[in-house]
């Protein structure tokens, strides 16, 4: 699933290609991708507007428009936004095309059809339940401690809960817990101050490194130019079926936590 590093990469790499461009058409191959407003109003309100900027909140991409409308996109499980500068055919599984002036197109490719788009005046109607951004300066170890205080859920589940922290999903939660040497079944409220500081550092280090490597292309994610990200080559445990711990050489184990496949090293991350 595209997580914070993948969406940040999409934002960074789309920006120079689409900001200042006018939307001249919208093609929908699957109407279900539009969540708000109606398909007819979505298309008519988008056409003729210029793109003024891109932002990200958690796993949401937010595209500013000249009317002060906001096009909010969630890539969900398998989505990618691909940029084209010619009249080439859309790739397989393209669910929507945003046509830009000067023969450019944004292809929303989504094999599993979970992706979504909203056209709104205020993105908080979609994002207001999200927790803090983990790479912002105001996300401190103290803030993390407050978010975890008295929580009885496993720390892995809490890291994936977007209302606790925005943008972290399955694979980066596994990587951060491994780096912090914390078992994924530890209850959130049981972490010591030292463990919280280690986890805070690990979260930021793992996410920044993944952004530097342009995200992780495990299954479907591609960068806007069609290239894969390379962050997954640095993974120590995530998606680690059949792999061994790079420190101790023992087998990476997989368990299920809240319906999520979870990978960890039983020696580096002892059971609670």
Query: Which phi and psi (to 5°) does residue 20 adopt?
Result: 90, -10
Rounded to whole angstroms, the Cα distance separating 244 from 251 reads: 4
Cite the DSSP H helix spans in the chain.
Answer: 4-18, 39-46, 124-127, 141-148, 155-160, 170-180, 193-212
Residues 6+ apart with CB under 8 A from 255: 184, 185, 262, 264
Which one of 3, 6, 8, 175 is the catalytic residue? 3
Which one of 2, 5, 132, 134 is the catalytic residue? 2
Q: Is the dihedral of CA 111, 27, 33, 133 positive or negative?
A: positive
Torsion (CA) 177, 127, 71, 214 in degrees, nearest 10: -10
- DSSP string spanning 77-100? TT-EEEEESS-PPPPTTEEEEEEE
Closest CA relative to residue 108, chosen from 87, 76, 79: 79
Give the pairing of strands 70-74 and 94-100: unpaired
59 is known as an active-site residue: yes
Radius of gyration over alpha carbons of the chain, in Å?
A: 20
CA distances from 150 to 158, 168, 191 (A): 12, 21, 10
Which one of 11, 57, 59, 186 is the catalytic residue? 59
156 is known as an active-site residue: no
260 is known as an active-site residue: yes
Which one of 22, 50, 260, 267 is the catalytic residue? 260
3 is known as an active-site residue: yes
Q: Catalytic residues, which ones? A: 2-3, 59, 260
């Amino acid at each position: 699933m595209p997580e914070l590093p993948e969406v940040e990469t999409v934002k960074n790499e789309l920006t120079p290609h689409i900001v200042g461009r006018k939307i001249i058409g919208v093609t929908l191959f699957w109407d279900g991708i539009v969540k708000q407003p109606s398909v007819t109003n979505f298309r008519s309100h988008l056409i003729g507007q210029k793109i003024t900027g891109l932002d990200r909140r958690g796993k949401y991409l937010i595209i500013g428009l000249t009317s002060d409308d906001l096009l909010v996109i969630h890539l969900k499980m398998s989505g990618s936004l691909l940029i084209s500068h010619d009249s080439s055919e859309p790739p397989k599984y393209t669910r929507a095309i945003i046509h830009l002036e000067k023969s450019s197109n944004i292809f929303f490719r989504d094999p599993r059809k979970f992706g979504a788009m909203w056209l709104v005046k205020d993105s908080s109607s979609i994002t207001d339940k999200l927790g803090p951004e983990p790479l912002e300066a105001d996300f401190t170890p103290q803030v993390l401690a407050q978010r975890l205080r008295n929580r009885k859920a496993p720390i892995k589940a809490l890291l994936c809960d977007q209302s606790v922290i925005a943008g972290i999903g399955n694979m980066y939660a596994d990587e951060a817990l491994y780096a912090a040497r914390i078992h994924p079944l530890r209850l959130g409220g049981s972490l010591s101050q030292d463990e919280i500081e280690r986890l805070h550092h690990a979260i930021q280090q793992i996410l920044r490194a993944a952004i530097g490597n342009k995200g992780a292309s495990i299954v479907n994610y591609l960068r806007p130019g069609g290239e894969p990200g390379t962050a997954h080559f640095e993974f120590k445990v995530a998606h680690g079926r059949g792999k061994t711990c790079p420190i101790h050489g023992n087998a990476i184990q997989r368990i299920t936590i809240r319906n999520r496949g979870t990978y960890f090293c039983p020696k580096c991350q002892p059971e609670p």
